[in-house]
Structure 1
Amino acid sequence: MNKLLGIMAAIDRVLAFIIKPIVVLISLAVAFMLAYGIFSRSVLQVPVFGLEELVLLGAMWLYMLGAALASRERSHLSADFIQVICKNQAVIRVMHMVATIISLFMACMFATWSYDLLEWGISRGQTSTVLKLPWYLSQSSLFLASLLFIFYLIRDFISDLRDFCYPEQAKTTAVPEQH
């Protein structure tokens, strides 16, 4: 299990190396476009047509890649009340596995749905109103994020399973530390 987690950790480092700068660039671009749009509309009295389409496209990618990074660090929203009401580490580990399995199932459903949406968007050839950007540019963010969710949830399940089967190894984990 540790060898597989090591391979997944190496893949994770590459993914993080790619995704983090993209998130920063998209964040800066969205912030700049929003500020420019507000300045242009309120000070210059000249609306910038199509800017909202670019902001929406950037926001979709930013939200989905940000969610993937949260999944990577296991810092996404969760309701871990089991640790509050139960001190038995075996029960806590089982509940972590159950939660991961449920999340993995939901991520697979999300991947199926987002793939169907992406395929539909490509086949229809629909575009945005002003800039004529293909809809699949934003729809693809959903599909990519769902694949990343599945990758990280499989990693988390393997880690949870290892922690359950070998509690003495629970301290060493392939999940990156939160900063």
Structure 2
Amino acid sequence: MHSLLLFKVAVTVLGLFIAFAMVVGILFRALLGIQVFGLEELVLMAAMWLYMLGAALASRERTHLSADFFQAFSDNEALHNTMNLIATTLSLLLAVFFVRWSYSIFSWGFEKGQVTPVFSIPQYFSQASLLVASVLLLLYVLRDFVHDVSKLVGKAKAAAH
């Protein structure tokens, strides 16, 4: 429960920061003719974390987009459960790939020591958002996989009796 509250607070704060920073940047540039240096790099970092935490939150709550078109064409619950398991298995494979890829990006950024031009924020700070999100996505997909397997096995056991 605490992690859910933390996710929601972080996503809300990041979203508000991005909106406020964009308005400030536009007002300063358009009305005052003043360029606010570094604002873009702060917005970019915040946006990376916002998108990645939002994706993890959607995965946690199972509110991400899905194409469950089998349910529209069939009332067969066994088919629905099987298709859910296949989709979750594919998601699990992709999540493992995503963790490996994001770790590679993060470790490369950490090794290179690149920083942003204005505030010298290490680039791996934004790259860490990919790694954190991918690990969270993997954990949530594992949860869904266990749920889908147990649902299918439970139905098979009930049908056998």
TM-score range, shorter chain: over 0.9
2:126 pairs with 1:138: yes
Matches within 5 A, 1:163-174: 163-167=151-155
Q: Structure 1 or 2: larger helix share? A: 2
Amino acid at match of 2:51: Y
Q: Which residue of 1 aligns with 2:56?
A: 68
Using structure 1 for the length normalisation, give the TM-score: 0.84
CA apart distance, 1:165: 2.1
Amino acid at match of 1:147: V
Unaligned stretches of 5+ residues in structure 1: 1-12, 168-179
Q: Separation in 2 of the partners of 1:106 and 1:33?
A: 34
Q: Separation in 1 of the partners of 2:2 and 2:10?
A: 13
Amino acid at match of 2:70: I
Q: Which residue of 2 aligns with 1:159?
A: 147
Deviations 1:55-85 (A, max 9, x none): 0000000000000011112111211111112
Identical positions, percent: 46
- The runs of at least 4 consecutive aligned structure 1 residues that moved more than 4 Å come to none
Q: Separation in 1 of the partners of 2:154 and 2:2?
A: 28
Question: What value does the CA root-mean-square deviation take over the aligned residues?
Answer: 1.0
Aligned residues: 155
Q: Which residue of 2 aligns with 1:28?
A: 16
Unaligned stretches of 5+ residues in structure 2: 156-161
Matches within 5 A, 1:7-156: 13-156=1-144
CA apart distance, 1:14: 3.1
Using structure 2 for the length normalisation, give the TM-score: 0.93
Greater length-normalized contact order (CA 8 Å, ≥ 6 residues apart):
1
